[in-house]
Copies of this chain bind each other. A is one copy, B any other.
Amino acid sequence: MAHDENERRNEKWKKVLMHVVGERVMRFPSLGWETMWKVGSEDPRRVIHAFKVGLSLTLVSLLYLLEPVYDGIGQSAIWAVMTVVVVLEFTAGATLCKGLNRGLGTLLAGALAFLISYVGKTSGRVFQAVFIGASIFLIGAVATYVRFIPYIKKNYDYGVVIFLLTFNLITVSSYRVESVLKMAHDRIYAIAIGCAVCLLMSILIFPNWSGEDLHNSTVYKLEGLAKSIEACVNEYFYGEIEATGDIKSPEDPIYKGYKAVLDSKSTDEILALHASWEPRHSRYCHRFPCHQYVKVGAIIRQFGYTVVALHGCLRTEIQTPRSVRALFKDPCIRLAAEVSKVLIELSNSIRNRRHCSPEILSDHLHEALQDLNTAIKSQPRLFLGPKHRHNKIATAQVGQERHGKALGFSISSVKTDSSALLDWKTKQSKETERKSLRTQLSKIAITSLEFSEALPFAAFASLLVETVAKLDLVIDEIEELGRLACFKEFRPGDEVVVTCEEPRVDVLQNHLTSHGVA
C-alpha cells in the first residue's frame, strides 16, 4: 500500500513538473520574441547595425572563400575576420577610434618585435629563447602598468592591448618561423583590409554618429528635467501627501525625467571621446565641440541634483499640510511652469541648432518670482510654527495640547517631545525589535519638532528659487555651446515651437562594450 502511494505521489510530482517545465518551455519563445522585438523597436538602428556586421563578416570571408583572392593573401585572411569582429562598432566615432588604435598598436608592436627578434637572432638558440622570454616579461609588465595612467587609459587603452598582443604573437612566432618579415607583412595587410571594410561600413552605409547621439541626449535630458519640475510641483500641490521614504518607482514621471541626467557622466564622456574621432558632419563649423557638450552635461547634472532635492521634499517625513500649501499653490505652479518653459526653449534651441531666444529669461519669470514673494510675505504667521487650524492631518494623533511658551501662540505638535520619548522608552522591551523601534524613534523625533509646518515649505520654495539661479549657469554653457558649434542666429519666428515627443533612446544601451583584440 505504502509503495503504491509513493508511486502515485511520484507520478503526480512528475506530472506537475512536466506541466511547469512545459509551460516554461512554451513561454520561452514568446518571451524571447518579445525581448527581441522590444530591443529593435526601441532603436531600429540596432537592426541595421546587426545587418551591417553580418554583411562585413561575409565580405571579409570572401577573402578566404574565393580561390583567386585566397592565393594572394592565404592564411592571414583570418586576421581580417578577427579585425571586423572586433573593430566594427555601433557608431562611426567608436569604429574610427578602435580602428586607428588597432592600426597604431599593430605597427608599433611590429616594429619593436622585429627589432627584438633581430637582436635575438645574432646569438645562439638558447640565448635567443632567454632573450625573448625576458623581453616578453618586461614589455608585458610595462605595457600593463602604462594602462593604469589615466590619460592612456582614456584615449589609448585599446591600442596598448593590441600592441601587447601583437608584440607577443610576433616575438614568440619569430622563434619558430624563419621569415618574420613576410608574416608581419601579410598580417598587417589583412588587418588593413579588415579595418578598411569596417570604416567603409560605418561611415558610408547608414552611419550612426556619436556626435549626433551626444547632441540628442542633451536635448532629451533638458526635456526630461522640464517635465520633472512641472510634475514635481503638480504632485506637491495636487498629489497625495505621503511619507513613504525614498523608494522611487521606475514609473514615477518625476523620477523618469531626471533619472537619465543623474548617471549621465560616463555616457557623456564616452560619446564625447568617440565624437572627437569623427570627421566634421556639419557644413557650418570646422569642429564638433564635444568638450562643450560634456560641460553642458555637467551643469545639467548640477541642475538635476536640485530637482532631486525638490523631489525629496515630496517624500520627506515632515509634511506641510495641504491647507498651508494651497496658499502658495498658484505662484509656485506658475514659477515652475516658467522654469520648465525656459528648459524646453533651451532644448528646442539645441535640437534645431540655433541660438536661444534673447528674451529667454523673460519678464514672466521675474513676475512669477515676485508673485511667490508676495504670497510668502502675506502669510507671515506660518513661519512662526504650527498652528492649530492648519494641523488637520496631525490632529488625528494629537494626544495632548499645550500652549506656546515664549510667544503665546497656540501650538499643538503631534506629541510633546518628552512624552513621546518616554512612550518610546517604555516600549523598548525586547532587543530583537530594535530596528523597528529605532525607526520609530527617529520618526517621532522628527515629526514632533515644532517647526514642522514652516520649514518644509520654505525649503521647497527655496529650492524652486534655486532652480532659477541654476538656470542661469545652464543658459551660459548652452550659449557658449551655440557659439562654438556655430548655431544659426535666432529669428523671431523660431520661438513658436511644437515640442515633438520623440521616442526616448537610451544611447548608453547602444554602446557595446569594447571587447576585442587579436
**Interface residues in chain A, defined as those with a beta carbon under 8 Å from any beta carbon in chain B:** 35-36, 39-40, 46-47, 49-51, 53-58, 61-62, 64-65, 70, 77-78, 81-82, 85-86, 129, 132-133, 136-142, 144-145, 147-150, 153, 157-158, 161-162, 164-165, 168-169, 172-173, 175-176, 245-246, 262-263, 265-266, 299, 302, 305-306, 308-309, 312, 316-318, 358, 360-361, 363, 365-366, 369-370, 372-373, 376-378, 380, 383-385, 405-407, 417, 421, 431, 434-435, 438-439, 441-443, 445-446, 449-451, 454-456, 458-459, 461-463, 465-466, 468-473, 475-476, 479, 509-510, 512-518
Contact = CB atoms under 8 A, between A and B. Distances in A.
Contacts of A308: 302, 305, 308-309
Given A266-B266, A450-B377, A513 B158 contact: yes
B514 A517 contact: no
A472 B50 contact: no
Contacts of A384: 380, 383
Taken together, the copies of this chain in the complex come to 2
Contacts of A455: 376, 458, 461-462, 465
A353 to B, nearest CB: 19
Given A35-B149, A373-B450, 17 more contacts: A39-B145, A58-B136, A58-B137, A65-B175, A70-B176, A162-B515, A262-B305, A358-B431, A358-B438, A366-B445, A378-B406, A435-B479, A446-B465, A455-B465, A459-B462, A459-B463, A517-B518
Contacts of A462: 455-456, 458-459
Contact of A85 (B129, B164, B470): B164
A246 B51 CA distance: 46
10 contacts: A50-B141, A65-B133, A78-B169, A161-B515, A262-B265, A316-B466, A365-B445, A369-B445, A373-B449, A446-B469
Given A53-B141, A137-B54, A377-B406, A305 B299 contact: no
Contacts of A435: 476, 479
Contacts of A162: 515
Contact of A442 (B51, B176, B469): B469
Contacts of A473: 245-246
Closest 5 pairs between A and B when the two form their complex, measured CB to CB: A518-B518, A383-B383, A458-B458, A459-B462, A54-B141
A463 B380 contact: no
A513 B366 CA distance: 49
Given A137-B58, A148-B509, A439-B472, A515 B157 contact: yes
A28 to B, nearest CB: 13
Contact of A309 (B35, B56, B82, B463): B463
A316 B518 contact: no
B512 A153 contact: yes
A62 B446 CA distance: 69
* Residue from the set A40, A451, A470 with the largest chain B CB neighbour count within 10 Å: A451
Given A246-B302, A449-B370, A380 B377 contact: no
A431 to B, nearest CB: 7
Contacts of A35: 149
A377 B512 contact: no
Main DSSP-derived SS at the A contact region:
helix
Contact of A449 (B36, B369, B431): B369
B512 A515 contact: no
Contacts of A316: 466, 469
B516 A133 contact: no
Contact of A417 (B172, B370, B439): B370
A334 B210 CA distance: 49
Contacts of A158: 513, 515
Best-buried of A35, A449, A510 by chain B (most CB within 10 Å): A449
Contact of A172 (B61, B360, B373, B465): B61
> Which interface residue of A50, A435, A470 has the most chain B CB atoms within 10 A?
A50
Contact of A161 (B36, B57, B85, B438): B85
Given A49-B144, A132-B61, A366 B54 contact: no
A312 B318 contact: no
A168 B81 contact: yes
Nearest to A468: B446
Contact of A148 (B39, B138, B168, B385): B39
Contacts of A438: 358, 360-361, 475
A500 B36 CA distance: 51
A139 B358 CA distance: 54
A77 to B, nearest CB: 8
